[in-house]
A = this chain, B = another copy of it.
Amino acid sequence: MNAPLPSHLLPELKPRPVPAEMVDLLRERFGDRCSTALAVRELHGRDESPIDAPPPEVVVFCESTEDVADAIKLADRFAVPVIPYGVGSSLEGHLLAVQGGISLDLGRMNRIISVQAEDLTVTVQAGVTRKQLNDEIRHSGLFFPIDPGADASIGGMSATRASGTNAVRYGTMRENVLGLKVVTAQGEVIETGTRARKSSAGYDLTRLMIGSEGTLGVMTEITLRLYPQPEAILAAICSFPDVDSAVRTTIQVIQMGVPIARCELLDAHSVRAVNRHDKLSLQESPMLLMEFHGSSAGVAEQAEVVQEVAAEFGGQGFVWATTPEERNRLWTARHHAYFAVLQTKPGCRCVTTDTCVPISRLADCINESVVEVEASGLPYFIVGHVGDGNFHLGYLVDPKLPEERETAERLNRQLVERALRMDGTCTGEHGIGLHKMDFLVSEAGEEAVAMMRRLKQALDPKNIMNPGKIFAM
Contacts and interface: CB of A to CB of B under 8 A. Distances in A.
A194 B423 contact: yes
A452 interface: yes
Interface string A410-422: 0000000001100
Contacts of A175: 171, 175
Chain A to chain B: the 8 pairs with minimum beta-carbon distance, closest first: A228-B257, A207-B207, A458-B458, A118-B360, A119-B358, A199-B425, A195-B423, A196-B356
A472 interface: no
Given A200-B430, A444-B202, A424 B454 contact: no
A200 B118 contact: no
A190 interface: yes
A364 B445 CA distance: 49
B172 A202 contact: no
Interface in A296-314: 297-298, 301
Contact of A202 (B259, B420, B440, B457): B440
Contacts of A161: 198-200, 204
Interface string A390-434: 100000000000000000000000000001100111111111100
Contact of A207 (B208, B440, B449): B208
A261 to B, nearest CB: 12
A389 interface: yes
A440 B119 CA distance: 23
Contacts of A426: 201
A426 to B, nearest CB: 6
A70 interface: no
A444 B356 contact: no
A291 to B, nearest CB: 16
Interface of A: 116, 118-121, 160-163, 167, 171-172, 174-175, 184, 188-192, 194-205, 207-208, 210-212, 216, 227-228, 230, 251, 254-257, 259, 294-295, 297-298, 301, 354, 356-361, 388-390, 419-420, 423-432, 436, 439-440, 443-445, 447-449, 451-452, 454-459, 470-471
Given A196-B388, A454-B458, 15 more contacts: A116-B358, A116-B360, A119-B358, A120-B359, A121-B358, A172-B198, A175-B175, A188-B447, A197-B358, A197-B390, A198-B429, A199-B356, A203-B212, A227-B257, A455-B459
A459 B454 contact: yes
A251 to B, nearest CB: 8
Contacts of A116: 358, 360
B203 A358 contact: no
A198 B174 contact: yes
A425 B199 CA distance: 6
A406 B457 CA distance: 43
B230 A447 contact: no
Nearest to A458: B458
Contacts of A200: 160-162, 211, 354, 425, 427-432
A91 to B, nearest CB: 11
B424 A194 contact: yes
Nearest to A429: B200
A450 to B, nearest CB: 9
A325 B207 CA distance: 40
Contact of A198 (B167, B208, B228, B439): B167
30 contacts: A116-B358, A118-B255, A119-B360, A120-B255, A121-B358, A161-B198, A161-B204, A175-B175, A190-B444, A190-B445, A191-B448, A194-B420, A194-B425, A195-B424, A196-B423, A200-B211, A200-B425, A200-B428, A200-B431, A202-B440, A202-B448, A202-B449, A202-B470, A203-B212, A203-B452, A204-B211, A205-B452, A228-B255, A295-B301, A455-B458
Contacts of A471: 202
Given A204-B174, A207-B204, A425-B199, A359 B118 contact: yes
